[in-house]
Structure 1
Amino acid sequence: MTRLRIDLAYDGGDFFGWAKQPDRRTVQGSIEAALHKVLRVDDADESEPLRLTVAGRTDTGVHASHQVAHVDVSDEVLQRCVGHMQVSAPDALARRLRAVLPKDIAIHRVSVAPDGFDARFSALERTYIYRVADRFAEVDPRLRGCVLQLDEDLDLELMNQAAAMTIGLHDFGSFATPNPGGTTIREVKTAYWRRIPVTPLVGDDMTMGEAWRTPSLESGLAVFTIVADAFARNMVRSLVGSCIKVGSGRKTLDWFADKMANPVREGSSGPIAPQGLTLEHIAYPPDDQLASRAEAIRAVRTL
């Protein structure tokens, strides 16, 4: 049996999230169906389940520019995808998956996972980005699927004061819901807002005398970056929504501080729209620490 690491990306706009669901289009369901097709394995074959484990489940409408999953495949089945290709079995599988998957899923690479690797439990941290076009930014309709558009002026200084309160080990019960048997305690390592500078797509040394300078696509956007060991359900979108309420003047910093101090779920700190959110990066420890990291993270977090 070989454990494969799959690095991938997807546009979440037309998916009902990552997790497989009956009669709904999901990222996991699409990839697992493709695996069964290219490896010629019946979906009902319990001896070869081809089930994906993912680093972080994304919700309906949320994107990933770099997601990580793993799947266990018997050596005999894995060799089926090689055929006449003069490449390794993981490379052959990556090529065949790209040929059958829908265009809103991209396979970056497929590789043999190191011993002890678990896509979910071995991860050290996840990085999410949320992109907002407020009144400061010129709205580009090409970005409507991955940027939230707001007709508001946002005070990023106030929003950063709110974001700073989230750093450290906290119970984020005001902003998230726990999985069965789990908690909403998470450790946030980095959280901040910044304005993308308004810059041209190319620098002065790359121009050819043109009168118009094409702007960089993300110029002027307000962008939230958050890094944590893990995230509870709806946590990032709820934090973003609450920061925006502070930055637009609809809520105060004291209100946000109260939400952090009293982790009780209620309507005013619920999740904002999903399209601005993208999972950007998953970090893992060195190979010789993968198994110990997976074992440690399975423990229920406490304050």
Structure 2
Amino acid sequence: MSDEAQPGHVRIRLDLSYDGAGFSGWAKQAGGRRTVQGEIEDALRTVTRSGGTTYELTVAGRTDAGVHARGQVAHVDLPAGLWEEHREKLLKRLAGRLARDVRIWSLTEAPPGFDARFSAIWRRYAYRVTDHPGGVDPLLRGHVLWHDWPLDVDAMNEAAGRLLGEHDFAAYCKRREGATTIRTLQELSLVRGADGVITATVRADAFCHNMVRSLIGALLFVGDGHRAPDWPGKVLAAGVRDSAVHVVRPHGLTLEEVGYPSDDLLAARSKEARNKRSLPAAPARCC
């Protein structure tokens, strides 16, 4: 995999958003399921009149089924001639071809070394939940989880603070063969808004499968008094999945933003991100 487009091609950055309710996640799947990647690639093939040629997208964060995105980033490598022919009208043509639950906001030539996935230095998600006894505002029901126990936000923030930093998050991830579960959790904080909706901000260099929804599930158990604030940290330290940690429903989760370094550091970041991570070895114990 190259950090640069092949000769004769141009790497294009896409900034986009989507409502995940009608998608079986980002990534293309067998069986004809509707996915964000498949939808955009089909539209791109149609509006550029590319026949049987599909130009594959690389994405910053592969969201699961039902998860939304407001600030998703992807890239695609297009033949230079095709890009030159269509660049002025491509955005508007895609808007006319795509379904209304996915929008592309910009198409720009990426700087050298840019890779939507590997050049990213952080992804920021928001998870929204309400504990209002009456339930969720009907106009927000597709984006806010209802938790039917009162939640103590202070206790949840106390628990969240114990999870920050670089750790092996195996206890909060669905394992994938050959993939590391070591991540750096840069921010995990919760704020209750004037409307009563609690927004959890979760930012990390990267996330493993189900990590955000598992972390929120653990914090909800603290917030409603079923577990003490030190419990999520103990689960993390144990390093194994705990049956008490529930993976909360996907509709409350939105990918809000993806961060990248300055252009001169893109290639170096991409190379670093491809290296398999490990935690520093624990110091040897003396007699």
Where 1:275 maps in the other structure, the secondary structure is: helix
Alignment of 1:111 with 2:116, yes or no, is no
From 148, 153, 156, the counterpart of 2:153: 156
Question: 8 Å contact 2:129–2:252 — kept in the other structure?
Answer: yes
Residue matched to 2:76: 71
The equivalent residue for 2:43 is 34
Q: Which residue of 1 aligns with 2:257?
A: 281
* Aligned residue pair count: 270
2:13 corresponds to which residue? 5
1:253 match: secondary structure: coil
Q: How does 1:199-218 map to 2 (within 5 A)?
A: none
Q: Give the distance between the partners of 2:231 and 2:187, measured in 1 at CA.
A: 21
Q: TM-score, normalised by structure 2?
A: 0.91
SS in 1 for 2:261: coil
Deviations along 1:143-189, one digit per CA (max 9) or x if unpaired, are 00001012210011111111111110011111102433211110011
**What TM-score does the superposition give when structure 1 sets the normalisation length?**
0.86
**For 1:30, what is the secondary structure of its paired residue?**
helix
Find the residue that maps to 2:199 and give its secondary structure: strand
| Whole-angstrom distance in 1 between the partners of 2:209 and 2:51 | 32
In 2, distance between residues paired with 1:179 and 1:138?
36
Letter in 1 for 2:75: H
Whether the 8 Å CA contact 1:165–1:260 is kept in 2: the answer is: no
Q: CA deviation at 1:137?
A: 8.2
Distance 1:96 1:179 in 2: 38
Q: What CA distance in whole angstroms lies between the structure 1 residues aligned with 2:171 and 2:244?
A: 9
The 2-side partners of 1:179 and 1:295 are apart by: 21
Contact kept in structure 1, 2:235 and 2:242, CA below 8 Å: no
User: Quick one: distance in 2 between partners of 1:21 and 1:104?
Assistant: 19
2:248 aligned partner, one-letter code: I
Aligned equivalents of 2:139, 2:132: Cα separation in 1:
17
The answer for unaligned runs of 5 or more in structure 2 is 1-8, 280-287
138 and 264 in structure 1: CA distance in 2 versus 1, 3 angstrom threshold: closer
Distance 1:145 1:248 in 2: 23
Q: CA deviation at 1:107?
A: 0.9
* Segments of 4+ moved more than 6 angstroms: none
In structure 1, give the amino acid aligned to 2:255.
L
Contact 1:175 1:270 in 2 (8 A): no
d(CA) in 1 for partners of 2:258 and 2:177?
Answer: 24
Please say if 1:244 is aligned against 2:220.
yes
Determine the structure 1 residue equivalent to 2:56. 51
Structure 2 distance, partners of 1:178, 1:29, is 25
1: CA distance between counterparts of 2:101 and 2:75?
A: 20
1:194 aligns with 2:191: yes
Q: Counterpart of 2:179 in 1: which secondary structure? A: coil
Shift of 1:263: 1.2
- Is the alpha carbon distance of 1:121 and 1:28 closer, same or farther for their aligned partners in structure 2, counting shifts above 3 Å? same
Q: Which runs of 5 or more residues in structure 1 are unaligned?
A: 82-88, 199-218
SS in structure 2 of the partner of residue 269 of structure 1: coil
> Match of 1:297?
273
1:25 aligns with 2:1: no
Alignment-derived partner of residue 208 in structure 1: none
